[in-house]
A and B are shown apart, each in its own frame.
Chain A
Amino acid sequence: MMGRKYRNPPLVEALCEFKFIPNQPWDLTLPGLIYEKVRGKFPDKRQQIGIGVQFVSTEKGLEHKVEPTPPRVQFHKKDKTALIQVAPDLLAINQLKPYPTWNKFKPMILEGFKVYKEIADPKGFRRIGLRYINILEFKDEKIELKDYFQYYPFIPDNMPRLHGPFLTRVEFPYEKRNEKLILTLSSLISKKPDIIPILLDLDYAMAEPEYISLGQISEWLDKAHERVENAFEACITNKARDIFEEVES
């Protein structure tokens, strides 16, 4: 994925999500103004319907709730490898395959952020997340998670050895709980039969509003990237590295 280099990295998407505290109510002309600034590199404009996913606490426990959210505008690169998403008080910069290294992704994030800041003039950050989404696809009928991951659900001895879909999610607090690393390992809906896709999702987030200022974003990104990179390497085994085919740097 990052520090170590792989010939077949499992990374399918890297994204940086900014949620802002606004200085003024959202103006519907802002996405158009942002587009004018980025259309050179991101010319393909699309609108995506908004679906917000929430987990809400009910009498029965945590329930998955999905609600419509305001539509967002996407500006894609011509080759569809990257995009910028803009919605009310939200900016996301997404890099799809192939991932071009942090040294190229970070400037793309900062460029998108600079344009948004100039045009929308936000008061501060409500949340920032740097997220790396990895998918490992196995053609086997069954696999042992611990062969490939150092982080996986622990199944007690008196439970069946074989299990189906799963989801594990852990948050690790950083910076006196103002930041956190959210680690998710789960099964996914497969596009093809006879494939077991496993998701390893690493999201480093500043969760305390305005914990850092708008001017501190570059340093924050480097720190977040380093923590995601370390977590990724900590979560996988050498058997997984063999699949990714490590390249000597």
Chain B
Amino acid sequence: MIQQSKFSSPELMITVGVSVILEDIIYSIPMRPEVYKDRNEENSVYRFPQDLIDYIENIYIFKNPEEIKMFLMSNDDLIQILLDAREHIQRVFGQVPIYLELHHDPEEEWDELFIVIKTNYSPEKAVELENKLFEEWFIEIISKVSGRLNFTEEPL
């Protein structure tokens, strides 16, 4: 029986290739499935956004993964922006951990995705870099993301 996913992450998915117990099936050689050698691009238009979201999960640390993924599936224009964002953030802040957090206001039916940049900088320096990132990147996309995406800096 499968239930709706609330807290679990696909990271917890049954490992591919060893998860399935099939009765009365002859599986001649216990080898790695061949498919992974020749299926290395996703050509399905339907599946492609799901793969990109998986990729984004490698770049950012998702605070509430299931909700963020669902939000991105419904706001798939943000996927490309998030893919590009890392380069801009790293250019300004360096190699720092970057989180994604989805903030809700149930009364207003409002959801906003926050890029949270964790750093060890002094408050003054952090504000300076935040302003720099705003001027160099966020100002270019602010009209497109229209209250659905924002960023902030927080101490580590």
Segment with Cβ contacts to A, from B10-18, B124-132, B143-151? B10-18
A165 touches B13 (CB 8 A): yes
Residue A57, interface by CB 8 Å: yes
CA distance A170 to B70 in the complex (A): 27
When distances are taken between beta carbons in the complex, the residues of chain B under 8 Å from A162 are 1-3
Given A51-B48, A164-B8, A196-B4, 6 further pairs, Cβ under 8 A? A94-B45, A133-B47, A142-B4, A182-B39, A189-B53, A191-B73
When distances are taken between beta carbons in the complex, the residues of chain A under 8 Å from B13 are 165-167, 186
When distances are taken between beta carbons in the complex, the residues of chain B under 8 Å from A153 are 14, 19-21
When distances are taken between beta carbons in the complex, the residues of chain B under 8 Å from A69 are 40-41
Segment with Cβ contacts to A, from B27-35, B87-95, B112-120, B133-141? B27-35
When distances are taken between beta carbons in the complex, the residues of chain B under 8 Å from A94 are 43-45
B44 touches A50 (CB 8 A): no
Q: How many residues of A contact B (CB 8 A)?
A: 70
A143 touches B83 (CB 8 A): no
Residue A176, interface by CB 8 Å: no
Q: Please report whether the interface of chain B is mostly helix, strand, loop or mixed according to DSSP.
A: loop
A137-175 interface (Cβ within 8 A of B):
141-145, 153-154, 156, 161-171
Seen from chain A, the residues whose Cβ lies within 8 Å of a Cβ on chain B are: 12-13, 15, 17, 19, 48-57, 61-62, 64, 66, 69, 83, 85, 87, 90, 92, 94, 96, 126-127, 129, 131, 133, 135, 141-145, 153-154, 156, 161-171, 180, 182, 186-196, 198, 201, 203, 205, 207
CA distance A83 to B48 in the complex (A): 14
Residue B156, interface by CB 8 Å: no
A12 touches B46 (CB 8 A): yes
Residue B102, interface by CB 8 Å: no
CA distance A219 to B73 in the complex (A): 38
B42 touches A189 (CB 8 A): no
> How far in angstroms is the closest Cβ of chain A from B128?
32
B70 touches A64 (CB 8 A): no
B44 touches A15 (CB 8 A): yes
B2 touches A64 (CB 8 A): no
> How far in angstroms is the closest Cβ of chain A from B142?
22
Knowing A62-B16, A169-B17, the reply to whether A52 touches B1 (Cβ < 8 A) is no
